[in-house]
Structure 1
């Protein structure tokens, strides 16, 4: 049960690390990250529960992973692992009964400051028709719960490792461009994606996209993202009109284009051996890739997110949310670039 601004199940805000560990029966993964100003996050219970501690080492926020984390309920509303539209309806109804204001956070999901609740989603996993456990076509709810006076943006920044203010804000809609309305791009594995060639500088990337100004960008200082010391390093440029995100790396000490993510909902369409890769239902794309690999005797691997990927082209197939479902969102990488 959630006791807003006080506790999430056995975890009470203000606990120290040892108390949190004991409350979770000692289930600590090791790992975690400390910020330059003393905040830190720590994963517990196989990474299904993430605790955020403030400078004094007191529990300030709790993130719950829907894949294996506990269910969390507020009154009669289940918050974790639910269909997003149904959870939103339940939250709005409860908020109306309690007189609480509901806003929209940066992911486009409900945020209730009076309860310290910020909702989000992640890909649903479960048993597939072939009996294996893998990613499904839907998304389900997850949430971040905060102590009094802790902004969800601040807690999310600690967990994510960059300033969430630099991300593109979703207004709460997930429109998907019909395939026939998408431009067609060609790609040559390990060399280029449409007009973008690996190794380009950020200025060259923007010029190749018609001079578009990035709608959002992420990066970091060498020790932590908001600590203004050392050289700030650019990680990504998000181009809303073109429907792509440019990802940079520093093999020679300066930013070079190392990968291109094509936005699943709005980006251009690209094909692999006749298979459309962008904006496709994940199960349909997985089946098509596996069938092609089997038909041609090629190598197959599964990425950490459960996607079937052909060996060779350094292709990563992720998903983008589309309301309660998801569509495919590929990332094309240079030869040695790792997501």
Structure 2
């Protein structure tokens, strides 16, 4: 199908957003139905991504694929694959991928609504899925059209297990708001960051060329944006106030990062709902102004952090990004 035929099949034009790459790759997110169409050259449909929260329910045989508890979906998928003689492997996110069916599973954090109608993160993840054509099925996330939509080459790869350190196993860091996180001071160069972490070499680096569709080997200067330090359990994020990278924010990983507290509240590796409840109670007890982070978590007004959730198997646990004074949240 071409893009016009997809629109007709969906009942006419729909609200959404899209991007087009220089090589003809294109994707279109049909936002109101939670579906993304991924197109190759000639605007021919080669992939369909279904959102965990907003997408339609999709069934493969008798197996429901979308908005499921991941371990339950995995068990049913593997059982169906055995019955049909299909091989199941683990994709980059640690989820089942079946080339014979052109299916690559994923997950996303589940959200609900508060009594006041605000979105709030839940304490678990639920399944999403990518469906691709036969020519992309052997390596969906290595195919150009899919990479234009979701480039995972520089992301942390999962083996399919998500071990979580206990609070006793974690180191404990101090935090000086808008100044420093443990040994990392905002304004450090990437080399100073690595030195402060005992010379640890980044396990992964992310960046970009001047234009998003450029790849390695293209003209233009590659710009470093993030370093991931797996041993320490943090990621460093860089800004360029004077044309060279300096530390502007630090994300402490939920599963493996050091513990940091605020007003006696452990921020890292916590159950999201309990962390939100503790923050709201602290705000109420001390008559502090209420602010919601970009991800929807409540924090005291003026506290420049972003509380996020990361996957721990079927569950979600908290991780936090601490930012400098001039970092945009």
Give the TM-score, by structure 1 length: 0.90
Deviation string, structure 1 residues 172-230 (Cα, Å, up to 9, x no partner): 10111001111010111111111111121111111111111111111111112526221
Map 1:253-268 to 2 at 5 A. Answer: 253-268=243-258
Distance 2:313 2:186 in 1: 32
Q: 1:251 to 1:174 in 2, by over 3 A?
A: same
Is 1:198 aligned to residue 219 of structure 2?
no
User: Do structure 1's residue 282 and structure 2's residue 272 form an aligned pair?
Assistant: yes
1:215: which partner in 2? 203
Q: What is the correspondence of 1:108-187 to structure 2 with a 5 Å cutoff? A: 108-127=94-113, 133-150=119-136, 151-153=139-141, 154=143, 155-160=145-150, 163-187=151-175
Distance in 2 separating the partners of 1:114 and 1:335: 50
Structure 1 265/27 Cα, relative in aligned 2: closer, same or farther at 3 Å? Answer: farther
Deviation at 1:18, TM superposition (A): 2.1
Unpaired stretches in structure 2, ≥5 consecutive residues:
none
- Counterpart Cα distance in 2 of 1:165 and 1:304: 25
CA contact (8 A) 2:306 2:320 kept: yes
1:133 is displaced (CA, Å) by 4.5
Secondary structure at 1:165 match in 2:
coil
Provide closer, same or farther for how the CA distance between residues 174 and 57 of structure 1 changes in structure 2, counting only shifts above 3 A: same
Segments of structure 1 that go 5 or more residues without pairing to the other structure are: 1-14
Contact 1:190-1:313 within 8 A present in 2 as well = no
Q: Does 1:296 align with 2:286?
A: yes
Large movers: runs of 4+ above 6 Å = none
Counterpart mapping for 1:27-176 below 5 A: 27-46=13-32, 48-127=34-113, 133-150=119-136, 151-153=139-141, 154=143, 155-160=145-150, 163-176=151-164
Q: 1:25 to 1:336 in 2, by over 3 A?
A: farther
Q: What is the rounded CA distance, in whole Å, between the counterparts of 1:156 and 1:257 in structure 2? A: 31
Task: Check the 8 A contact 2:19/2:27 in 1, yes or no.
Answer: yes
Residues 19, 205 of structure 1: CA spacing in aligned structure 2 closer, same or farther, 3 A cutoff? same
Q: Does 1:269 align with 2:255?
A: no
Asked whether the 8 Å contact 1:128–1:136 carries over to 2, the reply is: no
Q: CA deviation at 1:157?
A: 2.4
| Preserved CA contact (<8 Å) 1:64 1:70 | yes
Question: CA distance change for structure 1 residues 270 and 284 in 2, over 3 Å: closer, same or farther?
Answer: same
